[in-house]
């Protein structure tokens, strides 16, 4: 029975990683850049909801929508100001370093505004926990909502990319940016749209992260952001279903290695598992194998 409880706590943790990884993976898949500031956009999303609900007394749903709008604008602004000017820079490392810079920038802004004392975030989810096996097993409402949200977002994104014109443009940009622009696709606009969607997803992820683990500080997004990045690589970065699978697997490995191997080593075991997966399948579990033509 306790094994099942550990599995459930792994899935809860994993579902949070998964929802963050979705945004990571989508932005990488299309813009081909690692947006390390994603974790911090999540933190911003959390703080917006916290401010709106606790100090202005807005209903949670309205606050979540406001937070999504705010993060969308923030994401597009970051892309426009920090990433676009560097897109044609000689080294792709330039954008990576900028992303790290943005990440610290957002953390420090939050430090100035909110201070670094942690806030306890009151959950926006009111669904009662699922009780199984006569109450011996409990799955929290947050976990149920997070998993449901992951699936909805995954299906939604897949449909959007495959069925809409804008989605097709994204695919084209991700395949070959130069050729796409020759075909009359607005590359800058498409990438901005990608960031807009990715940041809106980050706001949702932030709310769910803080609802599940209710401590909110300017560093809240940093560690989950890294774990989610690992999850995205695990599942095959760029692959949207891969992000979900990678996130859940990561949460499970973390929880089970805590329970059965060692508390102190659990993070190391997560990374060891990543290395093993990458040795066997260099593009991750669901990653596309790309044939390079010589």
Partner 1 sequence: MKMKKLLSMILVAAMSLSILTGCGGNDGDGSTTGTGTNDGSTTDAGSDDGSTSDAGSTSNAGGASGSWKIGGIGPTTGGASVYGIAVQNGIQIAVDEINAAGGINGVQIEYKFEDDEHNEEKGVNAYNALKDWGMDILIGNVTSAPCVAVAAETANDNMFQLTPSASSPDCAKNDNVFQVCFSDPNQGIGSAQYIGGNALASKIAVIYNSSDVYSSGIYERFKSEAANQSFEIVAETSFTDDSNSDFTVQLQQAKDAGAELVFLPIYAKEAALILTQADAMDYHPLFFGCDGLDGVLAIEGFDTSLAEGVVLLTPFVADAEDEKTQAFVSTYVERYGETPNQFAADAYDAVYVIKAAIENSGATSEDSVSDICDKLSAAMTQIKIDGLTGSDMTWAATGEVSKDPRAMVIENGVYTEFH
Binding site for partner 1 (CB under 8 A): 2, 5-6, 9, 12-13, 34, 36, 54, 93, 96, 100, 104, 107-108, 111, 115-122, 129, 135, 138, 140, 213-215, 217, 219, 222-224, 226, 229-230, 233, 237, 254-255, 258-259, 263-264, 266-267, 278, 282-283, 290, 292
Q: How far apart are CA 87 and CA 225, in angstroms?
A: 23
Cβ-based nearer residue to partner 1, 117 or 126:
117
Nearest approach, Cβ of residue 124 and partner 1 (Å): 13
Q: How far is the CB of 163 from partner 1 (least distance, A)?
A: 29
Residue whose CB is less far from partner 1, 79 or 254: 254
Spatial contact of 231 and 250, defined as CB atoms under 8 Å apart: yes
Nearest residue (CB) to partner 1, 165 versus 291: 291
**How far is 195 from 192, CA to CA, in rounded Å?**
5
Q: Which is nearer to partner 1, 65 or 139 (CB)?
A: 139
Of 10 and 167, which has the nearer Cβ to partner 1?
Answer: 10
Q: How far is the CB of 55 from partner 1 (least distance, A)?
A: 11
Element (H, E) at 137: strand 137-139
How near is the Cβ of 184 to partner 1 at its closest, in Å? Answer: 28
* Token representation of residue 169: 């443009």
The burial of 60, by beta-carbon neighbours within 10 Å (0-12 exposed, 13-18 middle, 19 or more buried), is given as middle
The smaller minimum CB distance to partner 1, of residues 126 and 264, is found at: 264
What is residue 138's three-state secondary structure?
Answer: strand
**Nearest distance from C-beta of residue 63 to partner 1, angstroms:** 15
Can you give the three-state secondary structure of 207-226, one letter per residue?
A: HHHHHHCCEECCCCCHHHHH
Q: How far is the CB of 278 from partner 1 (least distance, A)?
A: 7
Nearest CA to 35 out of 219, 220, 197 is that of 197
Using the structure block, give the residue that is written with the tokens 């937070």.
67
For 162, 182, 226, 242, the CA distances from 38, given in Å and listed in that order, are 24, 30, 9, 18
């Amino acid at each position: 029975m306790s094994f099942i409880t550990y599995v459930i706590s792994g899935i809860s943790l994993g579902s949070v990683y998964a929802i963050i990884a979705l945004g990571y993976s989508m932005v990488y898949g299309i813009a081909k850049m690692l947006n390390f500031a994603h974790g911090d956009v999540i933190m911003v999303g959390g703080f917006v909801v916290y401010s709106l609900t606790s100090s202005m007394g807005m209903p949670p749903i309205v606050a979540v929508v406001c937070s999504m709008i705010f993060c969308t604008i923030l994401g597009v602004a970051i892309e426009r100001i920090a990433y676009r000017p560097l897109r044609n820079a000689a080294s792709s490392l330039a954008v990576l370093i900028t992303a790290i810079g943005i990440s610290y920038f957002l953390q420090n802004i939050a430090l100035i505004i909110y201070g670094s004392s942690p806030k306890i975030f009151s959950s926006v989810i009111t669904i009662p926990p699922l009780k199984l096996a006569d109450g011996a097993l409990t799955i929290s409402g947050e976990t149920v909502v997070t998993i449901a949200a992951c699936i909805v977002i995954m299906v939604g994104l897949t449909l959007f990319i495959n069925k809409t014109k804008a989605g097709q443009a994204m695919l084209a940009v991700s395949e070959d940016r130069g050729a796409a622009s020759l075909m009359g696709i607005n590359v800058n606009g498409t990438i901005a749209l990608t960031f807009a969607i990715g940041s809106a997803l980050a706001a949702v992820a932030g709310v769910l992260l803080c609802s599940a683990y209710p401590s909110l500080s300017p560093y809240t997004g940093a560690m989950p952001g890294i774990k989610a990045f690992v999850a995205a690589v695990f599942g095959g970065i760029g692959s949207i279903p891969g992000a979900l699978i990678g996130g859940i697997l990561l949460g499970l490995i973390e929880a089970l290695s805590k329970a059965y191997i060692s508390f102190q080593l659990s993070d190391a075991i997560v990374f060891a598992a990543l290395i093993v997966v990458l040795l066997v399948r260099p593009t991750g579990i669901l990653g596309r194998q790309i044939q390079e033509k010589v």
